[in-house]
Amino acid sequence: MLRDLPLGGDRFSASESTPVLSPYDGAEIALVPRCGAAEVDRAVAAGRRALDEEPLPQWRRAEILDAAAQLLSERVEAFAAVVAAEAAKPIRTARVEARRTVSTLTFSALEARRLAGEMVPLEASEVGAGKLAMTFRLPIGVVGAITPFNFPLNLVAHKVAPAIAAGCPVVVKPAAQTPLSAIALADLLLEAGLPPGYVSVVTGPASDVGEHLVAHPDVAMITFTGSPEVGWAIRGKAARKKVSLELGNNSPVIIEADGDWESAATRIAVAGYSHAGQSCISVQRVYVHEGVAAPFCDLLSQLVDNLIVGDPLDERTDVSALISAAERDRVLSWIREAESDGAKLSAGGTLRDGMLTPSVLEAVTPTMKVSSEEVFGPLVAVATYRELDDALRLANLTRYGLQAAIFTANLAGALRAARELDYGGVLVNEVPTWRADHMPYGGRRDSGNTREGPHYAVAEMTEPRLVVLQP
C-alpha cells in the first residue's frame, strides 16, 4: 500500500516509491514516496508562506497541541502497532513510546501558553533613564527536522511539537527505515487543526532529501538526532543556520559497594536491552565495585538470559530484531572481538531465529569497541573497580557525554559524581536510560550541543525581539 504524504499543504504521491520493510521478518509493510529536492522546495515554500500569511497566535498553537494529545491518547494502540511494525520495537515498549508522545504534545502546549519575553531594566544605565524596554519571542522561521529510527514517534514529536509551540512551520525528514510513524503524527496534527502548510513530511534518501533540507536558504534551523558523524557534518555545512544536535552516547553506570546492586541489576536488565539497546542512553558500560561484582554479575546474567526474544507484536517479547541484519552482524562482531581480547561472555552472544540474543560481557577493558564506542545493540559491558576515583575516571574516558548514573547510599559520593561525571545528566540510584519528556535532555562533546524537552526546544526555536519605548 502506497502511503501519501502531507507535503506543502496537499497530499503527495510520487511515481517512484520505496518499500518500508519489517526488521523482524523482512515483510513489506508499506510503500512511501521517494522525494527529492523539488519536494523539499515545495515543503519549505509552503512553510514560509504559512508563516507569512497565517501566523498562529499562542492560544491557537496550544489548542492544536492539546487536541492532538487528546486524539493520540485515544489511539495509543494504533500508533504503537505502527511503531512495533516498522521499528521491531516490542509492542509493550511501543505503547510506552506512544504514551510518552502524548506527554510531549501536552508539555509543548503548556510552553505555547507561557511563551513570553522579559522586561529589560534600561534605567539601570544612565542613558536608559526614562525609557521602557521589553523583549518578545518570535518564531525563528521554517525548521528542518531530521529524525532517527529508534524512537520513530516520540523523537519526531520532540521536534515537531516544540516547533508548533514556537509558531514555526516544520519539514520532517524521518529515518528511511521508519517513516510511517512520522506520517501518522503529521496527519494527526492536521486533524487536530494545524494549518496544512505548517507541517510537511519528505521521505527519501538522505543524499537527496536530507542534504537539500540542510542547505536550503529558507530553512532557518536544523534539528537533528542521530550519529555524531552525521550530526557534526550537518553542523559544518550549515554555518549560517542554527543547528541543534542530539547525538550518541555509551552510557556508564557506577555501582558502589554500598549501593543497591540488586536494584541496579534489575533495572539494567531492562535499560540495557529495551528496543534491543537501540537508544542513545541505553546502559552500555557498567563499573561495579569489586566487593559486589560477583553477585551483581550473576544476577544480571540470569535476568538477561530470561529475557524473551521474538516477534515484536507478541505481548511476551522483551527484545526483538535490530533495525537491520548489517547492524546485528556489526554488534556480534564487536562481541567476538572483545572475547578474543579477553572479555568473558556470561549471557547471550548467539543468534536465535536470526536475532541477536541479549548479551553480557565481563572483564571488559577501555580500549575494546564495546566500551569505547557506542554499541547501539543488546549488550552490556561490565568492568570492576576498587576506588570511586577509578570509576569516575573510567566513566569519563569517552568522547561522549549524554547521561551517566551512580548507585550509592552515600550522599557525599552521589554529590561528587554529580560534579565530576562530565555528562549532560547524572542520575543517582537510577539508570541513565531514564528520561522524562519535559526535562532538559542533551549532552556534551560528541553527544551534541543542545537541550531537548519542550521548554528548552521552544527557546531554541524562537528569537527575542527588543522593543524600546520613549514615552
Q: Cα separation of 107 and 109, whole Å?
A: 5
Which residues partner with 467 through β-bridges?
134
Please state, in angstroms and rounded to a whole number, the distance separating the CA atoms of residues 286 and 404. Answer: 10
Distance CA(35)–CA(192), nearest Å, equals 26
Could you give the maximum distance between any two Cα atoms of the chain, in Å? Answer: 78
Whether residue 454 contacts residue 118, with contact meaning beta carbons closer than 8 Å, is answered with no
- The number of beta carbons lying within 10 Å of the beta carbon of residue 53 is 9
* CA gap 117, 28 in Å, rounded: 49
- Is residue 346 within 8 Å of 380, Cβ to Cβ? no
- Alpha-carbon distance values, 307 to 100, 269, 439, 453 (Å): 24, 8, 30, 31
Q: How does DSSP classify residue 218? A: T
Q: Which residues are catalytic?
A: 246, 280
User: Per 3-state DSSP, what percentage of the chain is helix, strand, and coil (rounded to 5)?
Assistant: 40, 20, 35
| Residue 35 CB contacts under 8 Å (≥ 6 apart), including other chains | 5, 7, 12, 14, 202, 203, 204, 208, 209
Element housing 194 (H / E): none
Question: Going by C-beta distance under 8 Å and a sequence separation of 6 or more, which residues neighbour residue 119?
Answer: 133, 134
Buried b (16+ CB within 10 A) or exposed e, 383-413: bbbeebeebbebbeebebbbbbbbbbeeeeb
